[in-house]
Amino acid sequence: MAAFVDRVTVHVSAGKGANGVSSVHREKFKPLGGPDGGDGGDGGDVVLQVDPSVHTLLDFHHRPHQKAGNGKQAAGDYRNGGRGADLVLGVPSGTVVSVDGQVVADLVGAGARLVLARGGKGGLGNAALANARRKAPGFALLGEPGEAVDAVLELKSIADVGLVGYPSAGKSSLVASMSAARPKIADYPFTTLVPQLGVIRSGDTTYTMADVPGLIPGASVGKGLGLEFLRHVERCAVLVHVVDMATMEPGRDPETDIEALEHELREYGGEDLDLVGRLRIAVLNKIDVPDGRELVDLVRASLEERGLQVFPISAATGEGVTELGYALAAAVREHRASLPDLPPAPITITPRAVDDGGFTVERDPRTDGWVVLGVRPERWVRQTDFSNDEAVGYLADRLNRLGVEEGLAKAGAVPGDAITVGDVTFDWEPTLPAGTLTIEETAGLGGRGTDTRLEDNARLSAEERLLAKKARRLPYEVTEGDGWIDADLLDDTDR
């Protein structure tokens, strides 16, 4: 099996954020030390980063499931949890990342990186949740789960010069002759099963050359190996025809070979890539064979009429290889000079719209109720421990301050409707309107800051409590001089 993989599907999971801690400080002579629960650590990210030492996606083929570290648990005494370890995955330069059929990144150049899955946020401890009104919260927030992403990684080799041609045309031999690469070479078709890269220096120019597995008619629609490796010629600045001048197959000659290859490149790349436009040089290989040398004079004129530079060579003996190297270097320099200077990456600031409340309310056909969509409300629901009544009340306060109840009322929701936020569905019991609804809309909802428990106010005033206290103490605490007297013996004036 060839140890080369250029297209894989990976399943990555970022780390989960750790839960916050609900804790009360305990110390001698300080029975009410206050909340001291720490915050949970954030989960680690999954990052793709170009590593120059990686040349294939083989590791992902064997291990498609990758997971980053979870956040570290917090503790009391204000001890926060540590962040989970990031998982950095090395990929070759030229890796294209797609998620749900959409290209999200094209990683080119050493160090290029992409955060493919972000870790979950750690939950806040009760120390962070304390405020002037909630001095000792008896709850903490839960950590969020990390993102889970299924991505397709596709490698498109980065090379200045791409060699295209029929199987056994001598492409691998040419790479071996011009560089230090040592690809497998044999005298049967499809010897090359994986793209081979070689680094070549001609004069003051250094460039890379890619040997693409042989193309045959029908490669653009999946015949042979061409469809799997045509992607590796997309990034080549210069494409070179390598023509077999000593083929013994019937029905083949240099001109028909070139026409067939141009057809496949045109079918694969279309007008957008214009692969045929990059074909500038025709290499007539194997002129060391007597019949091959004789064919050169017959086809040179017709190939030059196509606008191609023609270089008869012998990869086996090295004849003509030096001249070809300098011609390729000139073509590469010309291409590099035509490239525009890359501007610095702009810094984009996208402020939130003035009328953006951070959520939307829509009809939910599943429950015949309503669904609240938004990053913040969905995150708050994930962070809530629904086994703790105080935590549920805190969630209700947050949603109300965001304006969710007002939005539901304006959308037409009525008490008892099923409301879905994230993965949780509950029956709506409005209690705290935002104050901007009409009288009809707020009828029966109560006012902001009110408490129905205070409507039946039977508590005595301070003056009434003082009089009651005096009445209880009067029969026993009335004195005259140094002795006690019975209060019942006093008349109304003395009292």
Q: Tell me the domain boundaries of the chain.
A: 7-155, 161-338, 360-451, 459-495
Residues 103, 52, 161, 195, Cα dihedral to 10°? -80
Predicted confidence at residue 248, as pLDDT, reads 64
**pTM of the model as a whole:** 0.64
The second-level CATH assignment, the architecture, of 360-451 is 2-Layer Sandwich (3.30)
34 CA to centre of own chain: 40
Strands 46-50, 87-91: pairing is parallel
Predicted confidence at residue 229, as pLDDT, reads 55
Predicted confidence at residue 221, as pLDDT, reads 42
Q: Binding site for GTP, residues?
A: 165-172, 190-194, 211-214, 285-288, 314-316
Contact 329, 205 (CB under 8 A): yes
Best CA proximity match to 227, nearest among 182, 255, 269: 269
pLDDT, tens digit only, all 495 positions of the chain: 344 567 899 999 999 999 999 998 888 887 778 899 999 999 999 999 998 888 778 789 889 999 999 999 999 989 999 999 999 999 988 888 999 988 898 888 888 889 999 999 999 999 999 988 888 898 999 999 999 999 999 887 667 888 887 777 777 788 877 876 565 554 544 444 556 677 788 888 888 887 776 555 544 444 444 445 566 677 777 888 888 777 766 666 777 777 777 777 777 666 666 677 777 788 888 888 777 777 777 788 888 887 788 888 888 888 888 888 898 888 888 888 887 765 665 666 667 665 566 788 898 888 888 999 998 899 999 999 988 888 888 888 888 888 888 888 888 888 888 889 988 888 888 765 444 444 444 444 444 334 444 455 556 777 887 888 788 776 555 444 444 444 454 454 444
Best CA proximity match to 84, nearest among 134, 120, 47: 120
Predicted confidence at residue 181, as pLDDT, reads 57
Q: Binding site, residues?
A: 165-172, 190-194, 211-214, 285-288, 314-316
Distances (CA, A) of 414 to 122, 183, 373, 431: 35, 73, 18, 12
Residues 31, 32, 34, 36, Cα dihedral to 10°? 10
Domains 161-338 and 360-451 share a fold: no
Contact 146, 120 (CB under 8 A): yes
Distances (CA, A) of 76 to 25, 83, 245, 435: 7, 17, 80, 40
Predicted confidence at residue 42, as pLDDT, reads 95
Q: Binding site for Mg(2+), residues?
A: 172, 192
The second-level CATH assignment, the architecture, of 161-338 is 3-Layer(aba) Sandwich (3.40)
Task: Report the C-alpha gap between 401 and 135 in whole angstroms.
Answer: 19
Q: Give the homologous superfamily in CATH for domain 7-155.
A: GTP1/OBG domain (2.70.210.12)
